[in-house]
Structure 1
Amino acid sequence: MRLPERQLAVLEAASATDERTIDEIAAETGLKPETVTGAAFDLRDEGLCSVVETAAETLGLTDEGRRYVDDGLPETRLYRAGLALDADESAVSMGQVIGEADLDGPEVDIALSNFARKGFGSIDSGELRVDPDADPDADSEAAALAALADGETPDAADAVLEQLDSRGLVDHGESVTRSVTLTDDGVDALMMGIEATETVAQVTPELLASGEWRDVEFSEYNVEADAPTTRGGRKHVLRRTADRVKDVLVGMGFQEMEGPHADSDFWINDCLFMPQDHPARTHWDRFALDVDPMEDIPDELIRRVESAHRDGWGTDGDGYHSPWSEEFAREIALRGHTTSLSMRYLSGIAGAELEPPQRYFSVEKVYRNDTLDPTHLLEFFQIEGWVMAEDLSVRDLMGTFEEFYRQFGITDIRFKPHYNPYTEPSFELFGEHPETGEEIEIGNSGVFREEVTGPLGVDCDVMAWGLALERLAMLTTGAEDIRDLHGTLADIEFLRDAEVSY
């Protein structure tokens, strides 16, 4: 019998009475484990050996867990800082102890939530006191992390490991151990003698040129053998969705807008005929910035917008008759919608061509002081767009949406009448989630009121909209939570596998 050298080496290293693992055979033969694995499967196919696979659960450290092995758990650092500040004798300001512990960002909340749980002390009215009898060196969670860092199996109760898992400090995995045993045919083959043959793994230019390829023996490839998973980088699903949106809108004849993320309230809200005492303009809903007010706003435009707010615009306009402050209008905040870009472009200050018909869009980030939930984030991407033309109607707006979403395979858009201070008529858009069947709001739209377009110097119809990029991605990828797409809770496996409609 003739066998390739690597197969013969594995066969000779295997035993008929004892199972030998791939790693043990690799160490004895000097071959790589993956080479031994391939040879063992080839020998199994020839009936010369058997291969048994045993799966076992593994436990390893996450990056955060490794960092705590080196730096100490946040609650332990908080305890030691308290001792250093004599918090075992009298209460010390919590902020002072946190500073002494050099805790930053999420570590502060982690330390505070686990400090009392472990009996390290107490926190009351912003002051911290440590228990001098506590022993952080006997912390079972820290001991388990240290054991894992040393490659050992932690001698810890299941409750401790579950706690570490809930804190995201350990990773559960699965390992497969392969063991090789000689069969009777394998033993017989060895006793009869096996000739080693030199095999060639691949055809080379030299073999082809010399003609030697006709005489050599090529290695066989086992396409069923396990191989390590290799993952390359890829563009984030939201960025790919944004690129697709831009392609679609450019294909529909739109031009892209750009502008500042931090802008004056004048461009963000006042130009939109949003009253200055509107609840959405309070500090509860906007992110105001402590910077100098914006000076470079045309004075004449400010006067026209103020007039629209106070007295209305046109023959039937009435205005709000509510307080209006130029000082407030010039204050800077993070934009809550990209309609601030639309106002800049429609006013002509951004250098846009304003001879109708015109179409403009943007796909940019906006910032809102919302409560986090499956469909809301503090910062997200908005698909802004507007069309300027004569005699526009709601049917034009609805038809634009139907064509846009059809490019993503979404054909069941529903429209609901709505109120906006800046558009009339107005309506919201809803789509059905492909997995849950839930109705999800995906945008808001309407035709700009004369109180918006008039002060800007626009004398024809403008229909506009703000659509949610993340919610479009939810409908196209099947994500059930907006936080699966980006942020600290993002599902990495989902992002690797998610596809964008083309």
Structure 2
Amino acid sequence: MQLPESQVAVLEAANADEATPVDALAAATDLPPETVTGAAFELEEQELVAVTERVDETISLTNEGRTYVEDGLPEVRLYEAALEASADADPAQMGQVIGTSGLEGDEVDIALSNYARKGYGSIDSGELTADPDADPAADPEATALESLVDEGTLEGSEDVLEQLERRGLAEVTESTVREVELTEQGVTELMAGVETAETVGQVTPELLTSGEWDEVEFAEYNVEADAETVEGGRVHVLREMSERVKDVLVGMGFEEMDGPHVDADFWINDCLFMPQDHPARTHWDRFALEQPTHIDDLPEDLVDAVERAHREGVGEDGEGYHSPWDEEFARALALRGHTTSLSTRYLSGEEIGEIEPPARFFSVEKAYRNDTLDATHLLEFYQIEGWVMAEDLSVRDLMGTFEEFYAQFGIEDIRFKPHYNPYTEPSFELFGTHPTTGELIEIGNSGIFREEMLEPLGVDCDVMAWGLALERLAMLTTGAEDIRDLHGTLADLEFLRNAEVTY
């Protein structure tokens, strides 16, 4: 019997008494594992060997997981520090507790995001409480990490394993193990003698020009043989979602805006009738520029009109804020905290000239805020900005626009909640139901622009506007439970490879 060289090698290395893994056969024959697998499948077709396979699952700790086994989970260390600060009796200052916990860098955000989730206590307005009945020794995630170190096996439920994976503390690796065993016919053929047949694996120019291709024996291809896993690149799910949102809004008759990521506080806040002593305008909530620090050019007439609205108000009943207003502060440069700075630029006529109603504009751009990282907040995020300028607009028009927009993504259970904004009246927030957790999550803010904002910009008709969260829309459509699964250092690569944005 004649067989290709690789098949002969595998046949001679296989055993009739017990199955031999492909890796062991590869080591014995000095052949690559994929070559051994292909040869084994070809021998199986001739009933010379039997091939069996199983899926092995290996759970291992990441470097971060090993660190927490030694030092303790960040949320447990925060709880222990809270007990030392007597937060089980009275609320303690969060900064003080963090300082005594020894947590640094990303560990602080990790501790804060898991503290309340595990029932260790609550965090509210910069204060922290500790539940005296909490038991860190029974923390299922800590127990699971210890079991992986001590026993090499996971002690805990599948839910615990999923949580460890999501946090990047454990990795689950699945591998297909194939084993090869000689059949009776294979033993018989070996005893009778097996010779190596000369075969050709591919057609070459020399074979074609010499005419030898017609005489040689070509090796057969086995499409079931293992091949190297290649993870190809793909468009990021947020980019896909952004393009989908743009398609929907353009289809609804909107035009796209663009503008600077770094802008003057004047465009970001002052034009929105946001008082200069508003808490959101402090260095705690904004990213100011170190160089340059201020913008050179602002339209003087518009600056005067905005300052007058802040100091005196607009209309007979307007009162303004009676609070400090400083043009130097208005000229200060910062990363925009919302993309509504684009709206003020366009509505004022400074960006593309005067806009006549009716008009509809939108943008899907990044905004930057000095927020605390958690499952629904990032330091930089994408905002879906939009506004409609027309006569006699109402809240009903605004709600109808949202219902039409979100219906394009299969979301038809939008809920509205009254809200206060310095620049819109009436105002309301939007909420959607997460498809996995069933929880209501905030997905946007909206309202009708106030007269105090529009009059200085030279707009004498109604404008309804909104700022929606692209990442949270992606969470509703893909089922992602944590915004950090979408991008950042904790992004779930497996999720990003498989998440789909439906059209």
Please give the range of the TM-score, normalised by the shorter of the 2 chains. 0.7 to 0.9
Give 1:410-489 correspondences, 5 Å limit.
410-489=411-490
Q: Which residue of 2 aligns with 1:347?
A: 348
Given the superposition, is the C-alpha separation of residues 61 and 202 from structure 1 closer, same or farther in structure 2, using an over 3 Å criterion?
A: farther
SS of aligned partner of 1:421 = coil
Give 1:239-388 correspondences, 5 Å limit.
239-290=239-290, 291-388=292-389
Give 1:1-400 correspondences, 5 Å limit.
1=1, 3-17=3-17, 20-27=20-27, 29-51=29-51, 158=150, 173=173, 178-194=178-194, 219=220, 221-223=222-224, 225-290=225-290, 291-400=292-401
Q: Which residue of 1 aligns with 2:144?
A: none
Q: Name the aligned partner's letter for residue 393 of structure 2.
A: L
Deviations 1:174-227 (A, max 9, x none): 5555443322221112223446555666789988xx89789967625253x443
Given the superposition, is the C-alpha separation of residues 62 and 433 from structure 1 closer, same or farther in structure 2, using an over 3 Å criterion?
A: closer
Q: Name the aligned partner's letter for residue 429 of structure 2.
A: E
Given the superposition, is the C-alpha separation of residues 437 and 173 from structure 1 closer, same or farther in structure 2, using an over 3 Å criterion?
A: closer
Q: Name the aligned partner's letter for residue 158 of structure 1.
A: D
Given the superposition, is the C-alpha separation of residues 54 and 425 from structure 1 closer, same or farther in structure 2, using an over 3 Å criterion?
A: closer
The answer to whether the 8 A contact 2:202-2:218 is kept is no
Q: Name the aligned partner's letter for residue 425 of structure 1.
A: P
Given the superposition, is the C-alpha separation of residues 345 and 107 from structure 1 closer, same or farther in structure 2, using an over 3 Å criterion?
A: closer
Q: CA RMSD in A?
A: 3.7
Question: C-alpha displacement at 1:169, in angstroms?
Answer: 8.9
Q: Which residue of 2 aligns with 1:102?
A: none
- The CA distance in 2 between the partners of 1:168 and 1:51, in whole Å, is 36
Q: Name the aligned partner's letter for residue 250 of structure 2.
A: V
Q: Name the aligned partner's letter for residue 481 of structure 1.
A: D
The answer to whether the 8 A contact 1:42-1:222 is kept is no
Q: Identity of paired residues, percent?
A: 69
- The CA distance in 1 between the partners of 2:261 and 2:391, in whole Å, is 31
Q: Name the aligned partner's letter for residue 299 of structure 2.
A: P
Given the superposition, is the C-alpha separation of residues 172 and 396 from structure 1 closer, same or farther in structure 2, using an over 3 Å criterion?
A: closer
1:493 to 2:485 alignment: no
The answer to whether the 8 A contact 2:203-2:213 is kept is no
Deviations 1:93-141 (A, max 9, x none): xxxxxxxxxxxx96999xxxxxxxxxxxxxxxxxxxxxxxxxxxxxxxx
- The CA distance in 1 between the partners of 2:425 and 2:201, in whole Å, is 73
The answer to whether the 8 A contact 2:4-2:219 is kept is no
Given the superposition, is the C-alpha separation of residues 108 and 465 from structure 1 closer, same or farther in structure 2, using an over 3 Å criterion?
A: closer
Gaps of 5+ in 1: 69-104, 110-155
Given the superposition, is the C-alpha separation of residues 477 and 18 from structure 1 closer, same or farther in structure 2, using an over 3 Å criterion?
A: closer
Q: Name the aligned partner's letter for residue 346 of structure 1.
A: L
The answer to whether the 8 A contact 2:200-2:216 is kept is no
- The CA distance in 2 between the partners of 1:388 and 1:491, in whole Å, is 40
Question: C-alpha displacement at 1:25, in angstroms?
Answer: 3.6
The answer to whether the 8 A contact 1:376-1:482 is kept is yes
Q: Name the aligned partner's letter for residue 322 of structure 1.
A: S
Question: C-alpha displacement at 1:365, in angstroms?
Answer: 1.1
Deviations 1:140-196 (A, max 9, x none): xxxxxxxxxxxxxxxx9628999xx99979856355554433222211122234465
The answer to whether the 8 A contact 2:287-2:370 is kept is yes
TM-score (norm 1): 0.73
Given the superposition, is the C-alpha separation of residues 482 and 313 from structure 1 closer, same or farther in structure 2, using an over 3 Å criterion?
A: same
- The CA distance in 2 between the partners of 1:446 and 1:355, in whole Å, is 20
- The CA distance in 1 between the partners of 2:151 and 2:42, in whole Å, is 44
- The CA distance in 1 between the partners of 2:152 and 2:26, in whole Å, is 36
The answer to whether the 8 A contact 2:274-2:423 is kept is yes
Q: Name the aligned partner's letter for residue 469 of structure 1.
A: L
Larger mean CA deviation between 293-302 and 49-58 belongs to 49-58
TM-score (norm 2): 0.73
SS of aligned partner of 2:364 = strand
SS of aligned partner of 2:243 = helix
The answer to whether the 8 A contact 1:424-1:448 is kept is yes
- The CA distance in 2 between the partners of 1:400 and 1:168, in whole Å, is 40
Question: C-alpha displacement at 1:243, in angstroms?
Answer: 1.4
The answer to whether the 8 A contact 2:429-2:442 is kept is yes
Question: C-alpha displacement at 1:420, in angstroms?
Answer: 1.4
Question: C-alpha displacement at 1:382, in angstroms?
Answer: 0.6
Deviations 1:291-324 (A, max 9, x none): 4322311111111111111111123322222222
Given the superposition, is the C-alpha separation of residues 403 and 353 from structure 1 closer, same or farther in structure 2, using an over 3 Å criterion?
A: farther
Size of the alignment, in residue pairs?
A: 419
SS of aligned partner of 1:490 = coil
Given the superposition, is the C-alpha separation of residues 239 and 204 from structure 1 closer, same or farther in structure 2, using an over 3 Å criterion?
A: same
Larger mean CA deviation between 10-19 and 375-384 belongs to 10-19
The answer to whether the 8 A contact 1:199-1:219 is kept is no
SS of aligned partner of 1:221 = coil
SS of aligned partner of 1:288 = coil
Larger mean CA deviation between 474-483 and 242-251 belongs to 242-251
The answer to whether the 8 A contact 2:312-2:320 is kept is yes
Given the superposition, is the C-alpha separation of residues 213 and 339 from structure 1 closer, same or farther in structure 2, using an over 3 Å criterion?
A: farther
Q: Name the aligned partner's letter for residue 38 of structure 2.
A: G
Question: C-alpha displacement at 1:31, in angstroms?
Answer: 3.6
Given the superposition, is the C-alpha separation of residues 402 and 31 from structure 1 closer, same or farther in structure 2, using an over 3 Å criterion?
A: same
Q: Which residue of 1 aligns with 2:72?
A: none
